[in-house]
Chain A
Amino acid sequence: MKMVTAIIKPFKLDDVREALSEIGVQGITVTEVKGFGRQKGHTELYRGAEYVVDFLPKVKIEAAVSGDSLEQVIDAITKSANTGKIGDGKIFVYDLEQTIRIRTGETGQDAL
C-alpha cells in the first residue's frame, strides 16, 4: 500500500477529485495549506506599507492506494492538476505500513 500526497493549485481540486474517482479511488483527505516553491509570491500594499507575501495558498490531497494502482493514480493526478505554469505542485509517495477501517476492523487492502 502507498500513501500518495499531492500538493496542487486550489482551483484544480475538482478536476483531480473527478480523475481519481474515475480510476476507482474511493476516498481522499483534503487540507488547505500554504507554501512556496519556485512560484513567486505577490506584494500587498496597506497605506504605503508594502509587504511581500511569499506563501501561496495550495491544497494537499492524501490518498491511500494499493501498490498496483500507484502508476494510474500518479498519472491521473499529474494530468488533471497540470496547467503548464510554475506552481502546479508536487506528488510525494510514501510506503504505507497499515490501514484499518474503524467501523469494521478490516485491515490491509480490504480497508482501502
Chain B
Amino acid sequence: MTIQKSQWAMKSLLITVIAALPSLAFAEETLNKGDTAWMLTATALVLFMTIPGLSLFYAGMVRSKNVLSVLMQCFAITSLMTVLWALYLYSLAFTDGGAINGLVGGFGKVFLAGIGVDTLYGTIPETVFMTFQMTFVIITPALIVGAFAERMKFSALLVFMALWATFVYAPVCHWVWGGGWLGDYGVLDFAGGTVVHINAGIAGLVAALMLGKRKGYPHVAMPPHNLTYTVIGASMLWVGWFGFNAGSQLAADGTAGMAMAVTQIATATAALAWMFSEWMSHGKPSVLGIASGAVAGLVAITPASGYVGPMGALAIGAAAGIGCFFAATKVKRAFGYDDSLDVFGVHAIGGIIGAILTGVFAATSLGGVGFGEGNTTMGSQVVAQLIGVGATVLFTAIMSFIILKIIDMIIGLRVDEEQETEGLDIALHEERGYIL
C-alpha cells in the first residue's frame, strides 16, 4: 500500500473502533429473541426431566408397594424447591455475597427483589435465567431420592431437602456459576457435573449409609416392578437433557449446537458401552442396563458439554458407560451398601469421570475449545478439575452427614419396620399405586 492509502486505512480503522467503543465499554446487552425463545424452551425441557422423567425412571425401579412414594417425593421436591428458590435460594446462589462472595452469595435478590418484566441477565430476561436455574435446584435433590428409596420418612425428606438446598446446593452452585471460588480456578463445569451430579451422588451415598440397608437386602429379591416406566423415564431424561446441556449456554448459538451434538453422541456411546459390558459380563444385554448406560453418559457429558468436540464426547461416553457399569454392579456389591437406585454409582462416578475427562478433552488438539481461565496445559486443567471434584465431594459429604444426623436426632430418618414391610404408599400416604 502507498503511505497515503495506509494512513487512510488506519484512520478508518480508528474511527470504526472509536464508534464501537461505547458498546464495548458498557457491554449493554439487549434482549435477544432467539436466545430467549430457546431458553424458555430449555427451561421447560429441564423441568420435564424431573416431572415426569426422573420420577418414572425411579418409580419403575422400586417395588410396586412404593411406586407412589417415589412419585410423591419427586413432585413434592419440585414444588418445595420452586418456592425456596424464589424466596431466597436464587439470591444465595447468584448474587454478590460481599466479603464472603467466594463461598456464598448474598440476600440482594431475596423474594426475587428487583427482577421485573424487563430485567435482563445477559441477552435473556432474568426471569428466564432464574427459572432455568430453578429447574436445576429441583432436579438435584430429586436425584438423591434414589439412594434412600423405599425407607425414608416423608417428613424427614422434606426437612432434609430444604436444609440441603440451602447449605449445600446454593453454596456449591455459587462456587461454580455464581461468582465463587471454583470459577476463579478455571474449573470447567458447563452444565453441572459438580453442582448437580457429584453433589447429589455423594449426598446419596452418605444418606444410603446413614439410613442403612432395606430390610432383607441383599438376600431378598427386590426386582424393579415396572421397567417400562424406567425406560420411558430414561427416554424423557435423554430428550430433556438437551435443555440441561445446550441450555446452559444461555444462548441459541454454535456452542449450544455443539453441546446438543456432544450430548447425543456421549449418551448413545455410553448406552452401548454399558449394554456390551453387561452382555460380556453376564451373558445377556438388558433393558435396565442400556437405559442406565444412557443416563451415565448424560451425567458424564454434563460438565463437558460446552467444551469438548464430538470425538471427545465419544470417549467420555465410553468411559462413563463402562465405569458406571462397574460402579453400579461390582463395586456396590463388593462394599455391600444399599444405594437402592445407584445414585452414587451413576451420578457421582459418572460426574467424576466426566469432570476429569473434561479437563482432557477440552484441549484443542483433541477437538475441544481450549482450557479454562488461567490454565494453559491439560495437566493444569485436570488439576483444576480435581480440585473442583475434591472440594465438592468433601463439602457435600460432610454437610450432608451433619444435616442428616441432626434430622435423625430430632425426628428420625427412617420409617419403622412395619411401615417398610407394608410399603410406603399405604403406610405414609394411604394410597395404592395400582388398584387392579
Interface set of A (CB-CB < 8 Å, partner B): 44-51, 53
Contact = CB atoms under 8 A, between A and B. Distances in A.
A101 to B, nearest CB: 31
Contact of A46 (B223, B330, B332, B333): B223
Contacts of A53: 221
Nearest to A44: B223
A45 B287 CA distance: 10
A47 B329 contact: yes
Interface string B214-234: 000010010110000000000
A44 B286 CA distance: 10
- Range, interface on chain B: 10 to 19
Nearest to B281: A48
B288 A46 contact: yes
6 contacts: A44-B223, A45-B282, A46-B224, A47-B289, A48-B330, A51-B223
A44 B289 CA distance: 13
Given A44-B223, A48-B328, A48-B330, 5 more contacts: A45-B286, A47-B292, A48-B329, A49-B218, A51-B221
Nearest to A48: B329
Interface string B276-292: 00000010101011001
A48 B223 CA distance: 11
Nearest to A53: B221
B286 A46 contact: yes
A44 B225 CA distance: 13
B342 interface: yes
A74 B328 CA distance: 52
A49 B288 CA distance: 12
Contacts, number: 28
A47 B222 CA distance: 12
B351 to A, nearest CB: 18
B201 to A, nearest CB: 16
B288 A47 contact: yes
A47 B281 CA distance: 11
Contacts of A47: 288-289, 292, 328-329, 342
Nearest 6 CB-CB pairings of A with B:
A48-B329, A51-B221, A46-B223, A47-B328, A45-B282, A46-B288
Nearest to B223: A46
A50 B281 CA distance: 12
Contacts of A46: 223-224, 286, 288
Given A51-B221, A51-B223, A45 B284 contact: yes
Interface in B312-359: 328-330, 332-333, 342
A48 B332 contact: yes
A47 B287 CA distance: 10
A18 to B, nearest CB: 29
A56 B292 CA distance: 28
Contacts of A44: 223
A8 to B, nearest CB: 24
A40 B342 CA distance: 31
A69 to B, nearest CB: 36
A34 to B, nearest CB: 14
Select the residue from A44, A48, A49, A50 with max chain B CB neighbours within 10 A. Answer: A48
Nearest to A45: B282
Contacts of B224: 46
Nearest to B329: A48
A29 to B, nearest CB: 20
Select the residue from B223, B328, B333 with max chain A CB neighbours within 10 A. Answer: B223
Interface string B51-62: 000000000000
B215 to A, nearest CB: 16
Contacts of A48: 282, 328-330, 332-333
A21 to B, nearest CB: 29
A31 to B, nearest CB: 15
A44 B332 CA distance: 18
Contacts of B342: 47
Select the residue from B218, B221, B288 with max chain A CB neighbours within 10 A. Answer: B221
A65 B198 CA distance: 67
